Amino acid sequence: MNLSVTQAGFLTSVQDLGRNGFRQFGVSVGGALDSHALRVANLLIGNDESDAGLEITFGGLRMRLQDKRVIAWCGGDFDIRSGSTPLPAGHACVLDAGDELAIDQPKIGCRAWLTISGGIDVPPVLGSRSTDLRAKFGGLIGRALRDGDEAPLGNQSEFSRSLVDLLRERRVASWSSPVEWSSTAKTETVLRVIRGVDWPRFHEVTRQRLSSDAFVVSPDSDRMGVRFDGPELHRNDDVDHVSEAVAPGTIQVPPGGRPILLLGDCQTIGGYPKIAHVITVDLSLAAQLRAGNHVRFSEVSMANAHRLLLERERQLERFRIGLRLHDS
């Protein structure tokens, strides 16, 4: 069975947890910019956590399913409906064959991750179904979805089929994921960072400015990175390093002083100094940044960054157990 796209919206692409193990060949990890949101949405409907779903940017998507399936979504403050029925974030919801799913523009944030039972079954490339929009491979023939597209859906799991039966009448599950997992957009964003390897190359005043001043998101931002229009961060020197490894979360500072926060589609190496790195658990917040948003950075220790990530993984395991109890 297929997913039929009647209106593709601003930018909708097939994404999973990314293309790991190929960075040494210059291949970006890619995948959902908020991998945790995709994992949660997949778990809610009985998919494998790594199954491919849709990353929806700024809404405008209209789609139908050719058979009865269960869906879930997490992300920004979107209005998502099937007919007159609102489908809240973080809940499993059943759609009948032919029902239209409509996703309007978000009030806060910019992205949502939508999963469908069985997953989107496009052919894997280098071990992933994610769309690499720059290299033009993966996903649906290497591009964003277009009006009239159809995408194949995989076989539903036993858990997914049981959810379809359980929610046949009420349509929307009464249980949900934690709000902080399903609704990640903020009106005021604070991103926690650890010091980068090039921290000593910046003036003391600049280092203080990183944690005291608000930065404004530039319109010139995409899945590769978030650019900031100000304030400027000045170095002690004008020398760029030989290119070395960078990763999602790295904050680079070009010669002009306007920092760039790298996201999932970032290059694998870069020569700009790396002043800091956004911790993994806050990449969900970074994925929701849109032009004009104000962002502040707050320094934490590496030990705290590890602790926060391990605690979220422990909470996710308890969440998995709770979902299995609903199915028993």
Mean pLDDT of 59-76: 97
Q: Tens digits of per-residue pLDDT, 76-97?
A: 999 999 999 999 999 999 999 9
Average pLDDT, the chain: 95
Residue 327 forms part of a structural domain: no
**pLDDT band at 328, cuts 50/70/90?**
low
Same domain? 222 vs 175: no
Tokens of 173: 């599950």
Cα(131)–Cα(230) distance, rounded to whole angstroms? Answer: 31
Q: DSSP alpha helices (H): ranges in 263-301? A: 283-286
Does the pLDDT of residue 264 top 70, yes or no? yes
Same domain? 221 vs 165: no
Same domain? 20 vs 162: yes
Same domain? 129 vs 194: no
**pLDDT band at 280, cuts 50/70/90?**
very high
Query: How many CB atoms neighbour CB 173 within 10 A?
Result: 20
Residue 80 forms part of a structural domain: yes
Q: DSSP alpha helices (H): ranges in 150-255? A: 158-166, 179-182, 204-212
Same domain? 42 vs 76: yes
Helix (H, G, I), strand (E, B) or coil at 125: strand
Q: Final residue of a domain: which of 146, 181, 216?
A: 181
Residue 318 forms part of a structural domain: no
Same domain? 171 vs 196: no
Same domain? 252 vs 202: yes
**pLDDT band at 1, cuts 50/70/90?**
confident
Tokens of 313: 């993984």
Q: Which of 262, 222, 243, 266 is nearest to 28 (CA)?
A: 266
Same domain? 216 vs 160: no
Same domain? 36 vs 160: yes
Number of structural domains found in the chain = 2
Mean pLDDT of 134-156: 97
Same domain? 101 vs 148: yes
Does the pLDDT of residue 326 top 70, yes or no? no
Q: Which domain holds residue 220?
A: 189-307
Mean pLDDT of 285-290: 98
Q: Please report the DSSP string for 77-104 in residue order.
A: S--EEETTEE--TTS-EEE-TTPEEEE-
CATH number at residue 193: 2.40.100.10
Helix (H) or strand (E) holding 278: strand 274-278
Give the burial string for 204-234 (b: 16+ CB within 10 Å, else e): eebbebbeeeebebbeebebbbbbbeebebe
Q: Tens digits of per-residue pLDDT, 2-37?
A: 999 999 999 999 999 999 999 999 999 999 999 999
Cα(222)–Cα(262) distance, rounded to whole angstroms? Answer: 10
**Residues in the chain, how many?**
328
Does the pLDDT of residue 169 top 90, yes or no? no
Q: Tens digits of per-residue pLDDT, 208-240?
A: 999 999 999 999 999 999 999 978 898 887 766
Residue 68 forms part of a structural domain: yes
Q: Final residue of a domain: which of 181, 205, 233?
A: 181
What's the confidence (pLDDT) of residue 112?
Answer: 98
**In contact, 14 and 87? CB cutoff 8 Å:** no
Mean pLDDT of 173-185: 94
Does the pLDDT of residue 314 top 80, yes or no? yes
Instruction: Return the percent helix, strand and coil in the chain, to nearest 5.
Output: 20, 30, 50
